[in-house]
Structure 1
Amino acid sequence: MASTISKTLKTSSTSQIATVAAGCFWGVEHIYLKNFKDRLLDTKVGYSNGSAESPSYKAVCTGNTNHAEALQISFEPTKITYKELIEFFFLMHDPTTLNSQGPDIGTQYRSIILTHDDNQVKIANEVLKEMQVKWYPNDKIVTVIEPIKNFYDAEEYHQLYLFENPSGYQCPSHFIRTTPK
């Protein structure tokens, strides 16, 4: 049976897990850590909700595994809330583009919130509705909200990639929106 939580993610007895996918996982991890590093316990990039067991980056890039490039976040709810993380999710990428972010195209780049419990489903749906009205009034948000089925850590060289490789590829759609689309 596949795990829904990264095997290497640091957690505590009081931490919670959030899992999101919003295009290339390098940029998603980078922007979350640049904005919330002191408020997050840990992050891992990986592959989620696909059909292959223990997928590789090469396999995921073919589009045949149906995995999304995802970011898993371990956080203490006393330092940052799940709602804050999901609100940020809708502002750090374009949730109105289907299976793509900028020039990155394919189901592995889809916009998806992978929930771990019923409370996360409720919060994610509420935030999506709020963001649709306030930030994306003229374009339909295509983000999918679904239960997490599996999470496989990406290869080690993908972890903290843009911190280790500052001149590496950054998706142009990964920035914080300050005005509605």
Structure 2
Amino acid sequence: MSTYKKAYIAGGCFWGMEDLFRTQNGIKDTEVGYLGGQNENPTYKNHPGHAEGIEITYDANETTFKHILDYFFRIHNPTTIDRQGNDLGSSYRSTIFFQNEEEKEDAKELIKIVNDSNKWDADVVTTLEPFTKFWAAEPEHQDYLVRKPDGYTCHFERFTDSFI
């Protein structure tokens, strides 16, 4: 029986998040795409209401959903509404797309831990949205920073120490 699971998060431009997550312990695959929007078959030029997000495939024997969220809160600014770096709009919102009540509770717990840490200058505004469907982005967006190492990103490790 496989111990692989999937997690779905959004925290700004999907290129930078994918690039950082791909190297983390237990992460087996990443794919960028669109989540939580209003249209079927969204594209980069037409994804109303969708967040630019990533699908993370991980081995539950090597990492946990909580550890994924811990890293998520260290590589983007979860205190800005609809913004990461120069990117503005709901496509760049900070969101955890939970698949079940356990993930939702884990997300609430991590948000409280992050807020209580006072590492950020403001409270977390990351939204919790039920996962519905992940739409893979076009091929030119997959592994973008691997193919274009000098490409745009607003993601980096802001804190090296874990929240948990």
The bucket for the TM-score relative to the shorter chain is over 0.9
The equivalent residue for 2:114 is 131
Cα offset, 1:116, TM superposition: 1.0
The DSSP-based 3-state class of the residue aligned with 2:22 is helix
Residues 1:115 and 1:40: Cα distance change in structure 2 (over 3 Å): same
The equivalent residue for 1:23 is 12
The equivalent residue for 1:55 is 42
Q: Given residue 27 of structure 1, which amino acid in structure 2 is its aligned partner?
A: G
Cα offset, 1:41, TM superposition: 1.6
Superposition pairs of residues 86-101 of structure 1, within 5 angstroms: 86-101=69-84
Alpha-carbon distance in structure 1 between the residues aligned to 2:69 and 2:118: 14
Cα offset, 1:178, TM superposition: 2.4
- Runs in 1 of length 4+ with deviation above 6 angstroms? none
Q: 2:32 aligns with which of 45, 68, 88?
A: 45
The equivalent residue for 2:156 is 175
> Structure 1-normalised TM-score?
0.84
Alpha-carbon distance in structure 1 between the residues aligned to 2:86 and 2:12: 10
Alpha-carbon distance in structure 2 between the residues aligned to 1:41 and 1:141: 28
Cα offset, 1:137, TM superposition: 5.7
The DSSP-based 3-state class of the residue aligned with 1:113 is strand
Residues 1:179 and 1:73: Cα distance change in structure 2 (over 3 Å): closer
Structure 1 unpaired stretches of 5+:
1-11
Alpha-carbon distance in structure 1 between the residues aligned to 2:44 and 2:157: 27
| Farther off after superposition, 125-134 or 135-144 | 135-144
2:130 counterpart of 1:147: yes
RMSD in angstroms over aligned alpha carbons? Answer: 1.6
Q: Given residue 14 of structure 1, which amino acid in structure 2 is its aligned partner?
A: T
2:58 counterpart of 1:75: yes
CA contact (8 A) 1:135 1:179 kept: no
The DSSP-based 3-state class of the residue aligned with 1:80 is coil
Q: Given residue 151 of structure 2, which amino acid in structure 1 is its aligned partner?
A: G
Structure 2 unpaired stretches of 5+:
none
The DSSP-based 3-state class of the residue aligned with 2:105 is helix
CA contact (8 A) 1:50 1:150 kept: no
Residues 1:133 and 1:51: Cα distance change in structure 2 (over 3 Å): same
Alpha-carbon distance in structure 1 between the residues aligned to 2:86 and 2:104: 29
Aligned residues: 161
Cα offset, 1:19, TM superposition: 0.5
Alpha-carbon distance in structure 1 between the residues aligned to 2:41 and 2:67: 31
